[in-house]
Amino acid sequence: MTRITLISFFVLVVAVSLATSESGICSWYDAPNGAKTANGETFNRNAMTAAHKTLPFNTKVRVTVGNRAAVVRINDRGPFVKGRILDVTPHVADILNLRQRGVAPCNVVRA
């Protein structure tokens, strides 16, 4: 393998990993006052945050539900219901028009 080919391959791998997207079911969650998120922050129902099973804490992602979108920061783990990929705060659920439905198909892309 030539050096150029090796470098091109590395750039491609990095680009694909940074542009990772995920599609699935999004839901919203709430917690009691004073509850701690998995990263140690106090849960804030008005924050632009979300729970994801594997993304590193403080990763920002753009979540799209239908024609609505929001950029959120991962600060918690979950959802713990099979088939769901993201739990958002009530504030984000309002922005995405998700609160009434409870769950909806979504797309999640690193921001």
Domain count of the fold of the chain:
1
Q: Residue 101 sits in which domain range?
A: 21-110
Q: Quick one: pLDDT band at residue 23, thresholds 50, 70, 90?
A: very high
Q: What is the pLDDT of residues 35-69, one digit of tens each?
A: 999 999 999 999 999 999 999 999 999 999 999 99
Mean of the per-residue pLDDT values of the chain: 89
Q: What is the pTM of this model?
A: 0.82
β partners of residue 5: none
Average pLDDT (62-80) is 98
SS3 58: coil
Question: Does the residue 26 lie in any domain?
Answer: yes
Token couple for 77: 């783990």
Looking at residue 33, its pLDDT comes to: 82
For residue 62, give the CATH number of its domain: 2.40.40.10
